[in-house]
Amino acid sequence: MRYTENGDLLGYILKNGCVSENQSRVWFRQLALGIQYLHELEITHRDIKCENILLTANFNVKLSDFGFTRSCVDEDDQPILSDTYCGSMSYAAPEILRGKPYLPKPTDLWSLGVVLFVMLNKSMPYDDTRMRKLYEQQMGKKYRFRSRVASILTLECKTIVKHLLEPDPGLRHTATQVLGSEWIAMDSRLTSKFLMCLSI
């Protein structure tokens, strides 16, 4: 718990309001790097949400709560489908709500998209207590930024949200794709660090 000096991300947003696009980009990149690392190890988190993202003393983010974590491959390195409903409904990808076996990695990216939306908008992209209604909203891509937020966000930022809240898991961006996106590249400090990591 030494990584939670400044509480969790949800508490921060409730106290301080929407996170600026520039700060969201920094935290989003840190989270995407963590997810990329897990996925390269064939591990999926399966419970990514604002409450499980901790803020350190220096206001960096740390992913926590690995209670639902599982391997994505079997002993022969063959992909394993998940069939468990886990995590929080508002962060769950449509393939989870559908109730059929699913590839687990893309669901982490959907949840990351929800986290990004919440940071920028201080509200959930889809929020209904009825699972069927929530699923219909997700499949119809019926999310909206608040007007005052939509007017100041860059197109590149909105594009990342669009690619992560893609209901088709086969079209949803991977962690590597979002890390190489134009939105991340807009901050040269982040891309230079990313390139340094690749060269090591």
Predicted confidence band of residue 195 (pLDDT cuts 50, 70, 90): very low
C-alpha 64/C-alpha 61 separation (Å) is: 10
Catalytic residue among 47, 74, 128, 187: 47
Question: Per-residue pLDDT averaged across 11-34, rounded?
Answer: 97
Averaged confidence pLDDT in the chain: 91
Per-residue pLDDT, averaged over 129-138, amounts to 94
Q: Return the minimum-mean-pLDDT range out of 2-6, 11-15, 33-37, 51-55.
A: 2-6
What average pLDDT does the segment 133-142 reach?
Answer: 95
Fold topology of 9-199: Transferase(Phosphotransferase); domain 1 (1.10.510)
Q: Is 77 helix (H, G, I), strand (E, B) or coil?
A: coil
Whole-prediction pTM: 0.91
Q: What's the pLDDT at 200?
A: 46
| pLDDT higher than 50, residue 196 | no
CA 13 to chain centre: 16
Chain segment 159-193, per-residue pLDDT in tens: 999 999 999 999 999 999 999 999 999 987 766 55
At residue 1, the pLDDT reads 65
Which amino acid, residue 45? H
CA distance 35 to 78: 20
Query: What confidence score (pLDDT) does residue 3 get?
Result: 66
| Residues 54-112 pLDDT 10s | 999 999 999 999 989 999 999 888 989 998 787 789 999 999 999 889 999 999 999 99
Active site residue 47: yes
| CA 166/CA 139 separation, integer angstroms | 8
**Is the model's pLDDT at 123 over the cut of 60?**
yes
Domain borders along the chain are 9-199
